[in-house]
Structures are given as structure tokens and as C-alpha cells.
Amino acid sequence: MQEKLLLEMNQNLKDVVNIKSDNCIYICGMRQTGKSYLLEHILLGMPKFVIYDGATHQHGQMGLVVRTPEELDAKLTSGENKIVCQPWKGDEKTFDKFCEIIWKHGNMMFAIEEIGNYMDAFSCPEYADMLIRVGRNRGIGIMGINQRPRRIWNTFIALIDHWFVFRTMLPNDITFLCEYLGSAREQEIKELPKRYFYYMNSDEMKPIKCNPL
């Protein structure tokens, strides 16, 4: 109840929700509903993070921009702790090479814009799968951001610690989300105003409707 009241009073998220740097976080919803803003808000509380921004190229102000896995490796080795990966070629193979570097170094939050571009419900690149399944053993957290909630690796869904759900309209995506939020919220998911979202965690799985941050 205390968490619910604090969130509804629009307090600072990191003072209310206990997000750790090795957690799995999922942020989903339609374009321009507030997902990327929330991503940046959460990362501001992280001591070390890497953003994979191959799809949107909108987070360059958050850290040092690198274009290749080799650049990422060099910057992490030199001690950089806020890095944004914006590769010229954003295909699945390139993405997994970046994941290999994240696995090598460990101890950071790895945020992935449009994570569904690199995996789906039935397949996932090798190192990305390792990060999701056992990255926590190396101090690695995963934050996945996606417009299409249903288009996501099932193992990631099974391991999510924190859900943030913004407005969604497509019937298949709503059906998928209602499996977790409950069918009674179907209409509300469609009608959430910009930057409003539902939050739930793996401990209680009781969705809380939250005001904009």
C-alpha cells in the first residue's frame, strides 16, 4: 500500500521502486508515450550503464557514443561508465557482438532500445540469450524497450523483475499484456494518456497505475 500511494503521489521512482543494476526491466508501449524518457530516468540512478541505441539514435546525450564493438570494448576497458552504442549497421549479428562485449566486462545495466528488432518470441542471438539467462551472475542487468509487447524473447519475459506498460492499441499486444496485468485492464491499457503507465514487479505482480514522472 505504501508503494502504491507513493507512486500515485508522483514521487521520484528510484525512491519508491527498488531497481537494482542487475535486474531485468521491461518497458513497452506505443511510440511517443514516454518509454525512452522513463529509460533515461531509471539510468540516471545507475553507476554504470550501456545503451544499445541502434534503432532510434536518440540517447547520444546520455553518454559517450561508440559505433563498433571494438570501440565499446576499449572504452569499458579504459573505465568509461556511461556509454551509448549507435552502430552504423544495426542488424542482429552486430547486436550480438556488442552483447559479447557486455558479457566480457560485466557489472552494468545494459539498456536496449527496440529489443524486439534483435529477438522474437522464439529465437534470440547467442550472447544476448546468455545475458538474459545468466547475466545476473556477472552483475549485468537488462532493460528492454519495445513498441510491440508480444514480440519479445520468452525467456526474457519469464525473468522480468520490473514491468512498465504504456498505452498499447494492437489487439494481439493487449491480449498478451492482459495475461499479466489482468483482463479487467484491457480498456485502460488502450486509453492511458501520454507518460502514464502501469508498474508491477515480480514479487507481488499487482499492477499500479502511475502518474507521469
Q: What is the pLDDT of residue 134?
A: 97
User: Is 94 a member of any domain?
Assistant: yes
Residue 18 lies in a domain: no
Per residue of the chain (213 residues), what is the pLDDT tens digit?
444 554 555 555 655 678 899 999 999 999 889 999 999 989 988 999 999 998 777 888 999 999 999 999 999 999 999 999 999 887 899 999 999 999 999 999 999 999 999 998 889 999 999 999 999 999 999 999 999 888 889 999 999 999 999 999 999 999 999 988 888 888 999 999 988 999 988 887 778 888 887
Q: How many domains does the chain have?
A: 1
- CA distance between the termini of the chain: 19
What contacts 108, CB < 8 A, 6 or more positions away? Answer: 21, 46, 48, 49, 50, 81, 102, 139, 140, 141
Looking up cell 552486430 gives 94
- Pairing between β-strand 108-112 and β-strand 140-146 as defined by DSSP bridges: parallel
Closest by alpha carbon to 115, among 129, 101, 136?
129
- Whether 69 is in a domain gets the answer no
Question: Which pTM was predicted?
Answer: 0.91
Residue 68: count of CB within 10 angstroms of its CB:
16
Q: Is residue 204 part of a domain?
A: yes
From the list 69, 121, 62, 60, the residue with the least C-alpha distance to 93 is: 69
Residue 11 sits at φ, ψ, to 5 deg, of -80, 170
pLDDT value at position 213? Answer: 75
Looking at residue 212, its pLDDT comes to 82
The full DSSP string for 126-175 is: HHHHHHHHHGGGGTEEEEEEES-TTSS-HHHHHH-SEEEE-----HHHHH
Which CATH number goes with the domain that contains 141? 3.40.50.300
The residue range of the domain holding 176 is 2-8+25-46+88-210
Phi, psi (deg, nearest 5) at residue 168? -140, 145
Residue 80 lies in a domain: no
Do the domain assignments include residue 17?
A: no
The answer to the question of residue 42 being in a domain is yes
Identify the pLDDT of residue 6: 45
- For residue 70, being part of any structural domain is answered with no
Do the strands 82-85 and 197-201 form a parallel or antiparallel pair, or are they unpaired?
unpaired
